[in-house]
Copies of this chain bind each other. A is one copy, B any other.
Amino acid sequence: MTKWVYSFGDGSAEGSAEMRTLLGGKGANLAEMSNLGLPVPPGFTVSTEVCTAYYDNDRQYPADLEKQVAAALAKVEETAGAKFGDPDRPLLVSVRSGGRASMPGMMDTVLNLGLNDVTVQGIARNSGNERFAWDSYRRFIQMYSDVVLGVEHHNFEELLDQLKAEKGVAGDTDLDADDLRCLVEMFGALVKRELGRPFPQDVHDQLSGAMGAVFGSWMNQRAITYRRLNNIPGAWGTAVNVQAMVFGNMGDTSATGVAFTRNPSTGEREFFGEFLVNAQGEDVVAGIRTPQHLTREARAHDGSSLLSMEELMPEVFSQLEEIYRSLEAHYRDMQDIEFTVQEGKLWMLQTRSGKRTARAALKIAVGMVEEGLISETEAIKRINPASLDQLLHPTLDPDAIKDILARGLPASPGAACGTVVFNSDEAELLANAGEKVVLVREETSPEDIHGMHAAQGILTSRGGMTSHAAVVARGMGTPCVSGASSVRIDYKNQQFTVMDRVVRKGDVITIDGAKGEVMLGEVAMIQPELSGDFSRLMVWADAARRLKVRANAETPADAQTAREFGAEGIGLCRTEHMFFDAERIVAVREMILADDEAGRRAALAKLLPMQRQDFTDLFRIMHGLPVTVRLLDPPLHEFLPHSEEEIEQVAAAAGADPEKLRRRVASLHEVNPMLGHRGCRLGISYPEIYEMQARAIFEAALDAEAEAGAAVVPEVMVPLVATRRELDIIKERIDSVAEAVRGERGRQLNYLVGTMIELPRAALQAGDIAESAEFFSFGTNDLTQTALGISRDDSGNFLEDYRANGIFEVDPFVSIDQVGVGELVRIACERGRQTKADLKLGICGEHGGDPESIHFFHTVGLDYVSASPYRVPIARLAAAQAALAD
C-alpha cells in the first residue's frame, strides 16, 4: 500500500528535509524542524504523489487516501489535545500547498478550517475570547468561500464595509463579537444565495474541499504561467500540508513574524526581519499595520519608535535567536523563517532557504566558508552563475524613482543612461565629443558596430534575446534592451513614441538591460564592485572545473576585457567584424565587385596589412594563450549596400558604376542567406580570400612572436563545413600559404587547422571530418538553426506561441536543446574522438555562456567553451558546478 500521508509534530516526524520531492519544500522542512525538536504545531503532509495521481487519474484521489488522512488527523488531535469538529475542544487546522520549488503566492491556502456554527462556540469558550472566535470564523468563511467555493472575496468585503458604515466605525478591530457574529450570519446568507446551498458545516467536508482546492490550484493559470517562466515541470505536483492552527492574534502576548537569518540584500550576518503583535500572518502581508523590528540594533538603526521583539518579548526572542542559529547551523544556509507566538509560546511555522540578491549570495557563500559552515565546493554550488551578470555591471539604485516608459527584453545586463540618438554615425560623433548616448534603432546590423561601441546602451524596438543587437551588446558588455515593441521609431523626425509620449533626439533616457526597462530621464545607479569575495569564489571555481573557458572576441578592447575576466584564450575571432570598419569596407566592396580573380587579389592585397595588424594585436594581448580565428563566414552581400539610396551613395563614394553595383547586389541576393553562399563555400569559390586571411594570420603570429618572444600557435578555423572534402581543399591551401610564409620569413611556424561543426551533416560525418581536422568547434547557433529548422532572425514571430504552448520550455537559442541539437554534438564528439582520440573539442556559439548548456558541454566531454567576454566569469563558475555535479 502506498504511503500517501506523512505526520509531523511533537518532536518527531515521518518525513525529513531529504524528502523534498515527495513532501514539497514546506512539508519536508516542517518534518525536519519536528525532528530537530523545535516547536512545530502538529500536522501532516499529503504527498506530491497524490497530486500526480490525482491528475493522472482524471482528478480522482487514490482509494486509500481518505483512511490515511483520518489516521494522521487522529494523531494531530492527540498531540494537540483537541478534536476536529468537536463542540468542546475543537481542533482548527490550516491547509497549505507546498511544492518542490517555491511558487510564492501562486497557490491557495485556507486557514482556521474546522470552524462551524457549533465549534465556533467551543473556540470562544476555550480561548475565553469571543471576539477572537467570531473573527476567526468570519475570516474562515471569507477565505474558504473564495478559495474553495468560488464566491469572490469582494462580495464579503462589501458586506464588511457596509456593516462598518452602519456601525459608524473605521477599522475591523472596532467591530465587537456581536458585530462579527452578525457578519457571520450575513456571510452565510451570501454563500447560500450565491451557490444555492449553505456554507458547509461538516468539518470533514471542509477539509476535503480545501485539499481539492489546493491540488486544483496547481493547474490554475497563474501557477502554470509561473512554472513556465521559472522552468518548473508540471509533473512535479504539489503537496498539501494540514497543520493545527496556532494564533498570533490572541492578545498582546501573541504575535507573528517573518525573518531572515542573514541580510538578504547585502548578505551581512545579522538577524533580519519583522513582527506584529496580536496579529495573524496575513496581517503582516496585508501591510495595514507597520511591523516592528526584531532586534534592538535594527530598531536603533532605523530610528523606529516601535519596540523591537528583543525588547518586547525578551524570552521568546532569545528562544527564537537560539532556534534561528541552530537552523542555520543545521541547514548550513541562510534561512527564511516564519513564526507565531501564541500567548507567549513560540511556534515555528516554516523554514526555508532564503532568497537573496546576487551580492548577498556571494557574501553569504564566502562568509560561510570562512565560518567553517560550508566547504568551498558548497560555496561554488550555492551561486547561480547567471546572477554574476548583476555584479559585473552598473545597476539601478533600487530606491530610485523610475518613470518607466516601455518594456522590452533584458537583452544585455547593466544600466545605462544617455541622450537618445538614432544612428550609429551620430552616436560615434557625439561619443567622441564626450557625450553619453543611448543608441535607439528598430534593429541593428553589422554596419552599426561602431555606433554600438560608442553608445552607453542600446535600445531596439524589434528582435529577440538573440537578435544582432542582443548578441553583440552582450559580447561588448553594453547594456541593451531589445524588442521593446511599444517603442515606435520615426527616423525621419528623429523621435520615438510610446503610446502618446514622444521622446526626441537629445532627450535623456535610462535603460536597465537586466530587467528590460526603459525609463525617461536619468535614474541613479550603483557601480559594480568586484569585491574580494568575487575573486575568492572564482579561484575556488577555477580549481574545481575541468572545462577551459575562452572568449569570443575580435577587438583589442574585447580581448583585454576577456583576459581580465579570466578567459584562457580566444575561442572565436570573427574576422568579418573587422571588415565593416569604414576604411576596410571600401576594399572589401572593391573585392566583391572585381570582375576576376586578379581584381579580387588586388583588393585583398589592400586588406592584408590591416588584417595582419588586427591579428598581431590579438595575439599580443592573448600571449601565451590559444587564439582561434574563423575565416570569413557571412555571405558577400552582407558587405554591399541594399537600398537604392545606399547603392547610389556607395557607388558615388567609390567612383563605381551604380548600375554595375546594382547588378552585383541583385546577383548576390539570396532567398535564405543563412543557407546560402557563405562559410567555407566562399573559400571554395574564391580561394584568394582565405589565402589572404591565412597569410595575415601567419605573418601576425610571427610578428607577435617576435614581440613577445614566445611562440604563438594560432588555430585557423574553417566555417560551415559539411563534408571532409571541403576541409581538405581549404586546408591544403592554408598549408601552402604557411609554407610560403615560412619560406619568406625563414622561421618556424606552428598552427592548427580545424573546423566549425555547425551543420547536422558535419556532426554525423564527424568521424570522417576528424581525419582532416585538428580541432572541432561547435557552432551551436547555426546547428540550432539547421537542426530545428528555425531562423534565429525570424523566430520572434512564433517562439512566443511556442513557449506559451509548452513546446519549448526555454528559447533553444539561449539554452541548448539537449535532446536534439545536443545529440548532434554528442554524436560528433564520439565519432570525432573515435577517429582522433586527442581531437580538441570546443564550442563557440552563444550557448557557451549559458550555465545549463555549459553543464551539458561538460558532460559530453568538450575541452572548452567560449563565451562573450562578460560571460566568462559565468562560464567559469558554471563549468565548476558541472564538474562538481559529476
What residues of chain A have their CB less than 8 Å away from a CB belonging to chain B?
Answer: 668, 670-677, 681, 684-685, 720, 722-723, 725-726, 729, 758-761, 764-765, 782, 785-791, 793-794, 797-798, 801-802, 805-808, 817, 819-821, 823-824
Contacts and interface: CB of A to CB of B under 8 A. Distances in A.
Given A670-B797, A672-B674, A681-B802, 13 more contacts: A670-B793, A672-B675, A675-B785, A675-B794, A676-B794, A720-B789, A722-B789, A723-B807, A723-B820, A729-B807, A758-B789, A761-B789, A761-B821
B761 A806 contact: no
B761 A788 contact: yes
A778 B461 CA distance: 39
Contacts of A726: 807
Given A671-B794, A729-B807, A787 B760 contact: yes
A808 B821 CA distance: 25
Contact of A786 (B786, B817, B823): B786
Contact of A685 (B673, B722, B798): B798
B764 A801 contact: no
Contact of A671 (B674, B722, B760, B801): B674
Nearest to A672: B791
Contacts of A674: 671-672, 675, 789, 791
Contacts of A720: 789
A789 B720 CA distance: 8
Q: What are the 10 closest A-B residue pairs judged by CB atoms, nearest first?
A: A761-B820, A675-B791, A672-B791, A760-B760, A671-B793, A676-B794, A759-B789, A760-B787, A670-B794, A672-B672
A676 B797 contact: yes
Contacts of A821: 761
A673 B672 contact: yes
Contacts of A802: 681, 684
A183 B469 CA distance: 80
Given A788-B722, A791-B670, A820-B764, A805 B675 contact: no
Contacts of A801: 681, 684-685
Contacts of A786: 760, 786-787, 789
A143 B726 CA distance: 40
A726 B789 CA distance: 14
A668 B796 CA distance: 11
Nearest to A768: B819
A315 to B, nearest CB: 58
Contact of A673 (B671, B723, B758, B820): B671
14 contacts: A671-B674, A672-B672, A673-B791, A675-B791, A675-B794, A677-B797, A677-B798, A684-B802, A685-B797, A722-B790, A725-B807, A729-B805, A764-B787, A765-B819
A819 B764 contact: yes
Contacts of A672: 672-675, 785, 791, 793-794
A808 B802 CA distance: 37
A684 B807 CA distance: 10
B806 A725 contact: yes
A720 B761 CA distance: 18
Given A685-B798, A788-B722, A761 B817 contact: yes
A759 B760 CA distance: 10
A823 to B, nearest CB: 5
A801 B677 CA distance: 11
B725 A684 contact: no
B681 A820 contact: no
Most interface-central of A672, A726, A729, A805 (chain B CB within 10 A): A672
A402 to B, nearest CB: 31
Nearest to A722: B788
Contacts of A790: 675, 722
A497 to B, nearest CB: 16
